[in-house]
Structure 1
């Protein structure tokens, strides 16, 4: 990751997804005093390289876990052994970590941030999505869900940044090489969202200030070009407003976003 010069002026909110996909997920949200990490499914080396590139060393870390699948927590045991961090997880999985983990049920305040967890349908123990509120700004991070519920819509509406799963193209999945049992799991209500499902959900919540980041793209059953085309076409054909749209990459993550108060 190329080092980036970032001006910490006390009036800015920063967002960077550093990995998104079945091989590992991790998202960073920070201001001049606090750092929120959502999921840590990457190696400690990649995590620390990203910290150095973003000038985030020696910062208090609050890690929030969405669910217990390895691509979301795989880096926690080793990284938390060498890097000081507070870990927050739902009661159903808080006992899974050797390091002391705080149970999160509802809303939690960390510095200038208010973090809200909401239930999502996935084949895990009490999985959640997150909305992170900072002054009058809102960032939502949601992936690994088989369908979009009213609770999800309520959780992500009015977001300035919306990082939302767009896992697969249905036809690519159905005609692809995955075993039938895995295809059924992905297509189920507790699997993963298709590009079309993602577009339908985003259309309900997007505004002219929403920066859309499509996440958790399958490397077998989707491409960045396909996801962007399907979601963008759906939104544009219905005159749904949004500020920008991109995909997050497994290895490079997303662009760096800076929001002012």
Structure 2
């Protein structure tokens, strides 16, 4: 099997991703109801009892809505840094002490056996949460990076996620659609800030610095339902890449879609 993943849902209405090797399965975030998460998992022939652990990026409701219910139902350990635990514990309900795992930002944890080992590294990101993180996943030489919910792409984040075979990268909004949209200005200002979300253009600019010979696919994620469209996001990111001199043959690189209401197909991470 190697390393594979499916983005169960992505966006402001809820986020969840499954990453799996032959010996380990982790759920990253649980931002939908337990019933909805179970339905999405079934679409990918998964059940809650297949999961070994839940990893949390931050405490916003679109990332932890179903966390407590799923963790209790399937008796799962939950990994988050101390600040995230402090801010989310009242929202997720009772989690047994032996299932509350503190994973300090910048550290790593491993699951599974030798052949199916899954290594998960956390890294700090800039977002308006207590101590938000992203995650990189490794199996052998294969690398998958989850890069969402960040206001800007810092040099430290770039160093962490560069040389990924596949990335799930935030492309949250079209700046003009957001500026002209119905949100109050204080919310617009938050989204546009360094602790908000990456725009389509910012995602493209970041990708220009993250692309290497290893990069095969990038999934555009966490799109705003009100201020973005997938076709527009892909067009903008592609335009930025082309303007910076990146041109690809069809079998060399692809921008892929995520959805707010259905899972992506399973995708296996392989070295080129």
TM-score (norm 2): 0.87
Supply the distance in 2 between the matched residues of 1:213 and 1:239 (Cα, whole angstroms): 21
1:12 aligns with 2:37: no
SS in 1 for 2:207: helix
Q: Is residue 222 of structure 2 the alignment partner of residue 201 of structure 1? A: no
Map residues 184-195 of structure 1 onto 2, 5 A cutoff: 184-195=189-200
Instruction: Find the aligned partners of 2:270 and 2:40 in 1 and give their Cα distance.
Output: 22
Q: Which residue of 1 aligns with 2:69?
A: 78
In the other structure, the counterpart of 2:259 is 249
Q: Is 2:27–2:51's contact at 8 Å kept on the other side of the alignment?
A: no
* Matched residue, 2:29: 39
Instruction: Verify the 8 A CA contact 1:116 1:131 in the aligned structure 2.
Output: yes
1:92 counterpart = 2:78: no
Corresponding residue number in structure 1 for 2:129: 124
Aligned to 2:103: 104
| 2:143 equivalent to 1:138 | yes
Q: Which residue of 1 is the match for residue 170 of structure 2?
A: 165
Hey, what does 1:4 align to over in structure 2?
none
User: CA separation in 2, counterparts of 1:107 and 1:70?
Assistant: 25
Bigger proportion of residues as helix:
2
TM-score (norm 1): 0.91
Counterpart Cα distance in 2 of 1:148 and 1:201 = 6
Kindly indicate whether the alpha-carbon contact (under 8 Å) linking 1:94 and 1:102 is maintained by their aligned counterparts in 2: no
| Structure-2 residue corresponding to 1:8 | none
Distance 2:123 2:219 in 1: 19
In the other structure, the counterpart of 1:150 is 155
Matches within 5 A, 1:220-231: 220-231=226-237
Q: Distance in 2 between matches of 1:253 and 1:54?
A: 8
In structure 2, distance between residues paired with 1:254 and 1:183: 29
Give the superposed CA RMSD: 1.6
* Structure-2 separation of matches of 1:83 and 1:247: 30
* Matches of 2:129 and 2:29, distance apart in 1: 14
Per-residue CA shift, 1:83-117, capped at 9, x if unaligned? 23111001112242521310112111112011111
Gapped regions of structure 1 (runs ≥ 5):
1-10
Deviation at 1:260, TM superposition (A): 4.4
Structure 2 residue aligned with 1:218, among 224, 234, 245? 224
Cα pair 2:165 2:270 within 8 Å, conserved: no
Could you say what secondary structure the match of 2:13 adopts?
coil
Counterpart CA distance in 2 for 1:16 and 1:146 is 24
Aligned match of 1:68 in 35, 56, 59?
Answer: 59
Question: Does the residue aligned with 1:93 lie in a helix, a strand or coil?
Answer: helix
Alignment gaps of 5+ in structure 2: none
